[in-house]
Structure 1
């Protein structure tokens, strides 16, 4: 219980610090309005040519789907850069003897930033969704706890993948290419740009087995087309991948610490 309290204390401090800058988050993330507007114009043309339903979704559902994927993607912390810098400049050496796990410290410290971003992005997303295409009449309030859980799990998976990539700094001096490749995989195979049903069948089958789809596609699809069976399937994959990347991040960190060669600080 004492160990858990330490991380909760770190999260509380992080939340307090980030709440000071909540106005900055709102202003900085307001370009979500323009992203969704461009998507609306694009998909209006596509639906005008293809019909009223694409990939099982109406235009209204498609725009809400894209809003949710953008909210999840934008509600991330800067842990990749922070950890990479800690490793590269040697600051991580001063954290080795601290009474906490570095990986879970980073997670706790990021929760404040993630929480504020998620709330501000969700608020902006709800407003522009209602203004652009109207409320999602298919969505029921009873589905909200399931959807929120799935969104949070998607954000957590994203975090632990980011920290896995950042910890490659122990061996690779310039690891930003890994982050770039990963972000493009989320953009495509993760269904952030278009639902994976629109891919060729073999790519769709592959995407459904990879973790990227359970960061953005899975939660967003539940928002616009919810069923308990789909939720159970998405939840199983999310929990499985979350455990995998938590374990992988702690493994990479321990291996990196053993081979640590401090070049700075």
Structure 2
């Protein structure tokens, strides 16, 4: 059943062809802006964060490929789930012969898969063809990288699921979504690689769950770290956050609160 939900999520987002084309264009343009900004920065600091210029460029295009895939600033299932909680339609979901958390995880994996193929691949290939990049020639490294992306999808879902469940108490999740957007942009390394952040702040952000989204997969792809430490970080956060989501779901669904009474 859950495989069918994954396929359904993929097909659902595949119908938005115009939005996908616009997203590809947007990611490519932002990629170009970031690349030239990074190159100017790395021209002054050639080994900033332990990266060379080619690695910095690779990091940019990987970030553009994974931005929508991982819904770094939100924009996936959580908006729909928040609305269903607010209106009380979540009661119907709870009567379905499927686990609520697993249902939405399967749906989001389908969305992520389409965004990776439909919106992420083209900007990444554009960057690889136009700029000097640092990519591995070893198929095992690529396989390990794809596994890190899959784990990053799960971690991303787990973060956003907790955000969505907050609507059971807040009824309006706008403020929490704003916090998610800010934290996702900064702590995932989408603005700058987390390796460049100095001191205690850098040490903290590199162990937060958002580090499992972009920084970990990027370092595996470019050979900056072994796959096992990244798997461990991602796996630990996936288990912890999914478990937290399960506990919050259990507490929240004891009483479904509908806005207005």
TM-score (norm 1): 0.89
Deviation digits for residues 44-86 of structure 1, max 9, x if unmatched?
A: 2212222x33222111210111222232221136211111000
After superposition, the Cα gap between the structure-2 partners of 1:16 and 1:120, relative to the gap in structure 1 and judged at 3 Å, is closer
Q: Secondary structure at the match of 2:240?
A: helix
Mapped to 2, the partners of 1:231 and 1:175 lie a distance apart of 36
Shift of 1:226: 4.3
Q: Does 1:60 align with 2:54?
A: yes
- Kindly report which structure 2 residues correspond to 1:1-265, keeping only aligned pairs within 5 A, or say none: 6-22=1-17, 24-50=19-45, 52-75=46-69, 76=71, 78-227=76-225, 230-263=226-259
Mapped to 1, the partners of 2:9 and 2:135 lie a distance apart of 36
Q: Secondary structure at the match of 2:49?
A: coil
- Larger displacement relative to structure 2 (140-149 or 161-170): 140-149
Which structure 1 residue ranges, 5 or more long, are not aligned?
Answer: 1-5
Mapped to 2, the partners of 1:71 and 1:177 lie a distance apart of 27
After superposition, the Cα gap between the structure-2 partners of 1:122 and 1:261, relative to the gap in structure 1 and judged at 3 Å, is closer
Mapped to 2, the partners of 1:28 and 1:129 lie a distance apart of 15
Shift of 1:135: 4.5
- Larger displacement relative to structure 2 (110-119 or 185-194): 185-194
Mapped to 2, the partners of 1:80 and 1:257 lie a distance apart of 17
Mapped to 1, the partners of 2:236 and 2:145 lie a distance apart of 17
Shift of 1:138: 4.3
Pairwise CA RMSD: 2.0
Mapped to 1, the partners of 2:114 and 2:153 lie a distance apart of 13
After superposition, the Cα gap between the structure-2 partners of 1:17 and 1:209, relative to the gap in structure 1 and judged at 3 Å, is closer
Q: Secondary structure at the match of 1:46?
A: helix
8 Å CA contact retained: 2:136, 2:142? no
8 Å CA contact retained: 2:220, 2:227? yes
Mapped to 2, the partners of 1:262 and 1:137 lie a distance apart of 51
Mapped to 2, the partners of 1:144 and 1:122 lie a distance apart of 16
Q: Secondary structure at the match of 1:14?
A: helix
Mapped to 2, the partners of 1:22 and 1:240 lie a distance apart of 36
